[in-house]
Amino acid sequence: MFSYQSIQDYQKDLLSGATNCVSAIQHYVQRIEHTRHLNAFISVYEEEALLRAKQLDELRQSGKPMGKLHGVVIGLKDVICYKGHKISAASSILKNFTATYSATAVENLLAEEAIILGSLNCDEFAMGSSSENSSYGAVLNALDETRVPGGSSGGSAVAVQAGLCMVSLGSDTGGSVRQPADFCGIVGLKPTYGCVSRYGLIAYASSFDQIGIFASNIPDLSLVLETIAGKDDFDSTASGLQPGIFSEPRGTNKKSRIAYFKEALHHPALDVEMANNISAYIDDLVKQGYDVKGIDFAYLDYIVPAYYILTTAEASSNLSRYDGVRFGYRNTSLDVDLTEFYMRTRSEGFGREVKRRIMLGTFVLSTGYFDAYFTQAQKVRRQLVDRTDLIFNDFDAIILPTVPSPAFKIGEKTDDPIEMYLADIYTVYANLVGIPAISIPLFKHSNGMPFGLQIMSNRFCDVSLLRLAHQLMQQ
């Protein structure tokens, strides 16, 4: 019987003949079928995946060297393009649209012999924190099906959590990888902005978006990052800096210098039990020889407002291309002028949360309000970047809670969008300043749900971040 622990162990079994790629695909297809009610997958490319698995098995048996991700079974969030396959951003506005090219990240995966198994459910256009805002219906948390898996990459998180694929890709604009990873008890990474090309990622907010990775362990996640990161001529924001090789020796046993924000651990929004667990964990780190210090951070309550002003402004511009003329859904009324046609198409095609954010973004960019909101939010962002640079002059990493509470019940926050937005208080900071951040599963709440710790490092110190996260998980 096929079982999976890590990419390294899986590839050893492939080389020894203990298993093969076809068996892996058959296993995951069967698992997906048995867990259809979780609603993690939108589409499963069963025939295509089996054909590629057979080809990889033949290639390996011929004696040719294996690619880094040879036979690794991967799911893609439904905002990442894969040529010739349907992509909709979980929205009716892109109904029946087929990608005409593949994202650079996907091309890199395929070049290293990965197998793409299917597309994964999410909040519409990656706008949400619960994976309830999808035209395909809500995603369920496999640990407690009455609770949300987090969002917007909820399907990607559940796919790894429930053993429906080995690793998955999501996108993180303000916590959309780290928050569902926390709710589902797995590992989720948002790389440095520019570390991974955004070419082929459907845009929500272009200066915030970053493709992220879900896995059950750090070495798997690191191998995928090494594969998809790097320069891309199709994305001017993609850096030429490689993140480095996670498995290379660090060359020192020096304990990291770690900061945490005092205001974050004493914030009234943070669950008391979670705060106590994280505080006790910090005490343990000090006993183990880590230099951990609390620092003052006066910007915490400004982060969420600045984030939603800037991201919705960018969204209102990015989503203006969905007009029903060139692709996707269109209203078929014949008795309307062009303006009415646009209005009907977009009103019918977009969901409630997306329309809310488009209207908010249009408002903050409008004459008379631009300086009062957008300009001020940009000033906050600049101050956050400057403060972050000063912090990393003295520290190697920052630790924070990932979320203020464990996974909440389905429908619990849908009637109060402000409460939902405030749940992003600890994750949006990394996107505002462009630093890498990871959520690792360390704790369990008395209600039975997991919760994690968020770790951040300086820009393009992704490998150092992964090493520290791996070290803390092993302890």
Write out the catalytic residue numbers. Answer: 77, 152, 176
Q: What is the DSSP string of 14-61?
A: HHHTS--HHHHHHHHHHHHHHTGGG--EEEE-HHHHHHHHHHHHHHHH
- Name residue 443's beta-bridge partners: 451
The tokens describing 25, both together, are 């695909």
Q: What is the C-alpha to C-alpha distance for residues 295 and 260, in angstroms, rounded to an integer?
A: 6
Going by C-alpha positions, the residue among 159, 154, 99, 74 that lies closest to residue 122 is: 154
Q: What is the C-alpha to C-alpha distance for residues 85 and 129, in angstroms, rounded to an integer?
A: 26
Going by C-alpha positions, the residue among 189, 120, 107, 98 that lies closest to residue 438 is: 189
The tokens describing 188, both together, are 């989720």
Place of tokens 């929004």: 269
> Do 434 and 402 form a contact (C-beta atoms < 8 A)?
no
Task: Identify the DSSP state of 76.
Answer: E
C-alpha distances (whole Å) from 468 to each of 5, 18, 193, 397, 457 are: 21, 33, 19, 9, 10
Per-state percent for the chain, helix, strand, coil, to nearest 5? 40, 15, 45
3-state secondary structure of 110: helix
The tokens describing 234, both together, are 């199709």
| Helix residue ranges, H only, 169-320 | 178-184, 218-228, 262-265, 272-287, 300-318
Q: What is the C-alpha to C-alpha distance for residues 403 and 13, in angstroms, rounded to an integer?
A: 37
> Do 468 and 197 form a contact (C-beta atoms < 8 A)?
no
Q: Side-chain half-sphere of 184: how many Cα atoms within 13 Å?
A: 36
C-alpha distances (whole Å) from 198 to each of 90, 107, 295, 373 are: 18, 12, 34, 27
Query: Is the sign of the CA dihedral 164, 166, 168, 174 positive or negative?
Result: positive
Query: Is the sign of the CA dihedral 336, 342, 346, 347 positive or negative?
Result: negative
